[in-house]
């Protein structure tokens, strides 16, 4: 492994260099190939991963748990009811205690500050499995999926249509670092965090690509190689659902919108999808859709990340 990442934590893709992201993608490709050939790779034999879940998740839990098992290690599931995270016990004490038992911590939480606090007090690497600000593991799987399908990343045109949320932030970081041109189309008041956009623009300039934020979904998807969307109402925002559905209706990814993209565009969604809202069945189930390849690749990219840092 050319790039040494052992002991490194991951709060967001801003924490990784271009070389480190490329190393994760190359390792993902290798581990996936070995999987397909039925070859074992017990790289983490005897290693343990604590998995903290404040929010439930199908893909995150299964991909990390199966991934650790395939690497020869063991994953321990800890739900909100198993821990008194930030309530009965401080996050710092939880992190320090878990560090004495396990080789790594993965946490899927509500507040990004929880991730930062876990990293601050932990003696072992911490992986952000999702927070309200960032979803780096998803973006790694997305970038790997695009690379698999298109054979390259640099120079491609990526359109993100919808809420400028944690997934959008991670994709902005990842695309900018790898030279992918990214346009985010979101309604006013729902656009990505200005600081994320500013950092991504600087990174993109260094890597020969561009970052654009617009309110026009058609402008975003014109000539796009990839169209990406996410749910309009994320977990924890249920009270805003009615207002969000009304605001985001013009941002639905449907056949009328996708006609502006390249014929061989990829449709991507991190799932779960609210079909009939952010995307219609005709797009989600079309030959252009790679949503289940994305879901599968969470397993391979997370295994690569675990193998590199634990």
List the catalytic residue out of 191, 230, 244, 269: 230
Say which residues have a Cβ less than 8 Å from residue 2's Cβ, sequence separation at least 6: 23
List the catalytic residue out of 112, 135, 157, 169: 135
Q: Alpha-carbon distance 129 to 61, whole Å?
A: 9
Would residue 175 show up in a list of annotated catalytic residues for this protein? no
For each successive 10 residues of the chain (310 residues), what is the average pLDDT?
87 98 98 97 98 93 98 95 75 95 97 97 98 98 98 98 98 98 97 98 98 98 98 81 95 98 98 97 98 98 98
166 closest CA partner among 134, 195, 140: 134
Would residue 249 show up in a list of annotated catalytic residues for this protein? no
End-to-end CA distance of the chain: 13
Q: Alpha-carbon distance 219 to 198, whole Å?
A: 20
Would residue 142 show up in a list of annotated catalytic residues for this protein? no
**pLDDT score at 102:** 98
Give per-residue burial for 91-108: e unless 16+ CB within 10 Å, then b: beebbeebbeebbbbbbb
Would residue 82 show up in a list of annotated catalytic residues for this protein? no
List the catalytic residue out of 270, 294, 300, 302: 270
Would residue 137 show up in a list of annotated catalytic residues for this protein? no
Sequence-ordered strand ranges (E) for the chain: 48-53, 74-79, 104-108, 126-130, 157-161, 181-185, 211-214, 226-229, 266-269
Q: Alpha-carbon distance 156 to 71, whole Å?
A: 33
**pLDDT score at 87:** 65
**pLDDT score at 234:** 78
Q: Return the structure tokens found at 210.
A: 């561009």
Q: Alpha-carbon distance 253 to 286, whole Å?
A: 12
List the catalytic residue out of 59, 103, 108, 169: 108
Would residue 157 show up in a list of annotated catalytic residues for this protein? no
Domains and CATH numbers, the chain: 13-134+296-309 (3.40.50.1370), 138-294 (3.40.50.1370)
Q: Say what the alpha-carbon torsion angle 88, 91, 94, 97 is, to the nearest 10 degrees.
A: -130
């Amino acid at each position: 492994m050319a790039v040494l990442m052992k002991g490194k934590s991951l709060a967001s893709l801003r924490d990784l260099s271009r070389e480190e992201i490329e190393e994760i993608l190359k390792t993902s490709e290798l581990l996936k190939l070995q999987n397909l050939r039925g070859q074992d790779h017990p790289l983490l034999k005897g290693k343990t991963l604590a998995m903290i879940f404040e929010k439930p998740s199908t893909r995150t839990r299964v991909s990390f748990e199966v991934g650790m098992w395939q690497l020869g290690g063991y994953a321990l599931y800890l739900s909100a009811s198993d821990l008194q995270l930030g309530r009965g016990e401080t996050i710092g004490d939880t992190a320090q205690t878990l560090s004495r038992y396990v080789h790594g911590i993965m946490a899927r939480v509500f507040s990004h500050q929880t991730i930062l606090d876990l990293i601050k007090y932990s003696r072992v690497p911490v992986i952000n499995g999702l927070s309200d600000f960032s979803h780096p593991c998803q973006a790694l799987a997305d970038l790997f999926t695009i690379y698999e399908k298109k054979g390259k990343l640099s120079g491609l045109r990526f359109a993100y249509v919808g809420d400028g949320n944690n997934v959008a932030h991670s994709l902005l970081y990842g695309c900018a670092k790898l030279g992918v041109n990214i346009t985010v189309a979101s309604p006013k008041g729902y656009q990505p965090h200005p600081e994320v956009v500013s950092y991504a623009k600087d990174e993109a300039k260094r890597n020969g690509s561009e970052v654009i934020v617009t309110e026009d979904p058609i402008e975003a998807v014109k000539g796009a190689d990839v169209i990406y969307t996410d749910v309009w109402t994320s977990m924890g925002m249920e009270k805003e659902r009615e207002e969000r559905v009304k605001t985001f209706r013009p941002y639905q990814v449907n056949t009328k919108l996708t006609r502006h993209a390249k014929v061989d565009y990829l449709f991507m969604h991190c799932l779960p999808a609210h079909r009939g809202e952010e995307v219609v069945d005709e797009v989600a189930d079309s030959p252009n859709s790679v949503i289940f390849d994305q879901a599968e690749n969470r397993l391979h990219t997370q295994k690569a990340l675990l193998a590199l840092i634990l």
